[in-house]
Amino acid sequence: MIASFQALLFSDRAADRVVPPTGHTAWLTTFTAAAMTFLAVFALALSLASGRLAARWSEALANTATIRISAPADQMQQQTDAVLAVLSGTPGIASSRALTNDEQKALLAPWFGPDLPVEALPLPRLIEVTETGEGYDSEGLRQRLLAEAPGAVLDDHTRWRRPLATAAARLNLLGGLSIVLIGATMAAMITLAANAALAANAQVIRVLRLVGAQDDYIAAAFVRRFTLRAVAGSAIGAALGLVGVFLLPPVDEAGGFLTGLGFQGTGWLLPLLLPPIAGAVALIATRAAAFRKLREVQ
Amino acid sequence: MIAFDNVAYNYGGGELLSEVSLRLAPGSFHFLTGPSGAGKSTLLKLAYAELLPTAGHVTIFDKDVRSLGRNDVALTRRRIGVVHQDVQFLDHLPLAANVSLPLTVSGKQGNPRDLTDLLQWVGLGKLADALPPSLSGGERQRAALARAIIMGPDVILADEPTGNLDWEMSLRLLTLLAELNRMGKTILVATHDLNLIRQAKAQVAARVLRIRNRRIQLAGADL
């Protein structure tokens, strides 16, 4: 293995020349590495974005609750005051406030447009509740609200938060799994290409053994060729993938599920790790294939 | 140099060589003869560790071949020059690069002048840049001989080196081998060409070994 790394770092032109041009297998390696890295960039973006999404959804919903008050217009303010009074005396509640008409209007704008006459519609009043770290007794609070404000319904976000966080975590896992599968596929393809090249050069290997070449020398000549092609192909794939992610619609336009798909900050540097990883995959795969083939020749 | 001690070799079912014992002393010249399929090539392959004996011991430079690892085998072959009848080259490299291949794979920097002299010695001085497929049979055999001796090996093993050559070219190759023997190289030539052996006896003090009924014997005056 050390000899293979040394062969990569210190080019030996004479050693490189003993292996004839490997033609289509070399191009297959370059293309495979480029295509797989291109896909890996998107898998990485998906994985990172879903990770951020899971964290954001969990954080945003974890310590908050909403109380919805549905009451006749003449009782709305009275019940709102009653709920706020209950909340202020409830252990585990850090703060609470009723959303203003403008805030409710903004929440409904995506569905009804910006000119919605909130005042004219029998909309429920929403109260935003923020918990302390210890949390509150949701069942006890429901009982008290039922007594003080019959139109109030507590929504502690649990039924939203759990599936969303689970879905985002699964997406994160799938992204990581995709990267592993892409790496394995690339290793398999490069192994096939290396095996084809080694089989086509069985005569070369026999001659080299006959004149006293050691296995490391012969393997290094193949390993170097395939590893450098894999690194070059992977660099091309990473560059194209980064351009593709960069050209994705911005957050405010895409919205919804695609919100935040891409890289942020130093995350943009992560795809640059893919070419060296592809090189390592190619080195290990080609070296293993080369030594398997060499064992067939005494 | 190379010693066979009660060696046997089986190909699949049948026994090809049996109870073979011989010693190639330094500076000796041996011919190995016998009918086609008698096991001449197999004996040579045993002598440079391409095959391992199924019984007995083959010792190369005082080491039993069974004790040699793959790297040891490679290092041993740098001290043995091999010439095959179906001589094999790297067809994408010019003749000069092919001849100096043993130097290349052992990481040695050959002297270009020495390479030129060697090619001229085997009569290929003007073909240094030619690709192997463009060479004639005789040129390929002489190139193989040049490649076999470029490392200054102690032993030269030649398997039917004149098999594809006309009589004149065969004599020329024989003369080159005789010159190498006079330089102190140990030489073993497998051939079924008895005329060549008779011709050689006028140039070198060669012993003739014959494979008959799977065993090796010293050939006598019947040659």
Query: Domain containing B202 — which CATH number?
Result: 3.40.50.300
The SS3 of residue A277 is helix
DSSP state letters, A196-225 = HHHHHTHHHHHHHHHTT--HHHHHHHHHHH
Which positions in chain A touch B71 (Cβ < 8 Å)? 214-216
Least confident of A116-130, A155-169, A177-191, B57-71: A155-169
Any domain includes B48: yes
A124 touches A70 (CB < 8 A): yes
B133: distance to nearest CA of chain A, Å?
A: 14
Highest mean pLDDT pick, A4-13, A202-211, A284-293, B55-64: B55-64
Any domain includes B214: yes
Q: Given B88, B91, B93, which is nearest A17 (Cβ)?
A: B93
CB contact under 8 A, B88 and A203: yes
Any domain includes B207: yes
pLDDT greater than 80 at residue A246? yes
CB contact under 8 A, A212 and B50: no
Is the domain of A203 the same as that of A135? no
CB contact under 8 A, A14 and B71: no
Using CA atoms, how far apart are residues B169 and B166, in angstroms rounded to an integer?
A: 5
pLDDT 10s digits, A255-268? 555 556 788 888 89
Q: Given A15, A18, A212, which is nearest B78 (Cβ)?
A: A212
B89 touching chain A per CB within 8 A: yes
Tokens of A220: 């290094």
Which positions in chain A touch B88 (Cβ < 8 Å)? 203, 206-207, 210
Is the domain of A273 the same as that of A187? yes
Model pLDDT, residue A5:
58
Any domain includes A204: yes
Model pLDDT, residue A48:
87
Is the domain of A39 the same as that of A172? yes
pLDDT greater than 70 at residue B221? no
Model pLDDT, residue A254:
47
pLDDT greater than 90 at residue A201? no
Model pLDDT, residue A1:
59
Size of interface A-B (CB pairs under 8 A): 62
Give percent of chain A with pLDDT exceeding 70. 89
CB contact under 8 A, A212 and B77: yes
Model pLDDT, residue A197:
83
Report ipTM for this prediction: 0.87
Q: A241 to each of A27, A249, B84, how far by Cα in Å?
A: 19, 15, 53
Is the domain of A261 the same as that of A172? yes
Residue finishing a domain among A82, A115, A150: A150
Is the domain of A110 the same as that of A231? no
User: Other C-beta atoms within 10 Å of B158: how many?
Assistant: 26
Interface of B with A in 108-167 (CB under 8 A): 147, 151
Any domain includes A159: no
Model pLDDT, residue A165:
75
A132 touches A93 (CB < 8 A): yes
Give the confidence band of A109 by pLDDT, cuts at 50, 70, 90. Answer: confident
Number of domains present in the structure of chain A: 2
pLDDT 10s digits, A12-31? 666 778 888 767 777 888 99
Give the confidence band of B7 by pLDDT, cuts at 50, 70, 90. Answer: very high
Using CA atoms, how far apart are residues B25 and B3, in angstroms rounded to an integer?
A: 9
Model pLDDT, residue A2:
61
Query: What is the phi-psi region of residue A212: left when phi exceeds 0, alpha when psi lies from -120 to 50, beta otherwise?
Result: left
DSSP state letters, A79-112 = HHHHHHHHHHTSTTEEEEEEPPHHHHHHHHHHHH
Using CA atoms, how far apart are residues B153 and B2, in angstroms rounded to an integer?
A: 13
Domain that holds residue B26: 2-91+154-218
Which positions in chain B touch A204 (Cβ < 8 Å)? 90
In A100-181, DSSP assigns E strands to 125-131, 152-155
pLDDT 10s digits, B135-182? 988 899 889 989 998 998 999 999 988 877 788 888 888 888 898 899
Number of domains present in the structure of chain B: 1
CB contact under 8 A, A210 and B93: no
Any domain includes A161: no
Is the domain of A242 the same as that of A145? no
Domain that holds residue A81: 71-150
B50 touching chain A per CB within 8 A: yes
Residues with Cβ within 8 Å of residue A124, at least 6 apart in sequence: A68, A69, A70, A151
B73 touching chain A per CB within 8 A: yes
Using CA atoms, how far apart are residues B79 and A1, in angstroms rounded to an integer?
A: 27
Q: For residue A42, give the nearest of A290, A298, A240, A297 by alpha carbon.
A: A240
Using CA atoms, how far apart are residues B99 and B93, in angstroms rounded to an integer?
A: 10
Any domain includes B190: yes
Q: What is the mean pLDDT of chain A?
A: 83
Model pLDDT, residue A71:
86
pLDDT greater than 90 at residue A238? yes
Q: For residue A129, give the nearest of A87, A169, A168 by alpha carbon.
A: A87
Scanning every residue of chain B, which has its alpha carbon at the shortest distance from the alpha carbon of A204?
B90
Give the residue with greater pLDDT, A24 vs B105: B105
Residue finishing a domain among A125, A150, A175: A150
Which positions in chain A touch B144 (Cβ < 8 Å)? none
Please state the rounded mean pLDDT for residues B33-38.
87
Give the confidence band of A37 by pLDDT, cuts at 50, 70, 90. Answer: very high
Q: For residue A171, give the nearest of A271, A40, A44 by alpha carbon.
A: A44
Model pLDDT, residue A10:
61
Which positions in chain A touch B51 (Cβ < 8 Å)? 298
Give the confidence band of A11 by pLDDT, cuts at 50, 70, 90. Answer: low
- The secondary structure element, H or E, covering residue B2 is strand B2-11
User: Other C-beta atoms within 10 Å of B219: how many?
Assistant: 18
Any domain includes B189: yes
Find how far residue B113's CA is from the centre of its chain.
25
Any domain includes B139: no
Any domain includes B183: yes
B186 touches B79 (CB < 8 A): no
pLDDT greater than 60 at residue A4? no
Q: For residue B149, give the nearest of B115, B196, B126 by alpha carbon.
A: B115
Give the confidence band of B5 by pLDDT, cuts at 50, 70, 90. Answer: very high
Q: Tell which of A211, A295, A297 to mutate to test the B interface (max B CBs under 10 Å).
A: A211
Please state the rounded mean pLDDT for residues B207-223.
80
Any domain includes A189: yes
pLDDT 10s digits, A116-163? 776 777 788 899 998 887 888 888 888 998 888 888 898 877 667 778
Any domain includes A182: yes
Any domain includes A158: no
Residues with Cβ within 8 Å of residue B84, at least 6 apart in sequence: B144, B159, B160
Is the domain of A209 the same as that of A253? yes
Length of chain B: 223
pLDDT 10s digits, A209-227? 999 999 999 988 888 888 9
Any domain includes A160: no
Any domain includes A211: yes
Give percent of chain A with pLDDT exceeding 90. 18
Is the domain of A275 the same as that of A208? yes
Any domain includes B138: no
Burial of A78 (0-12, 13-18, 19+ CB in 10 A): exposed
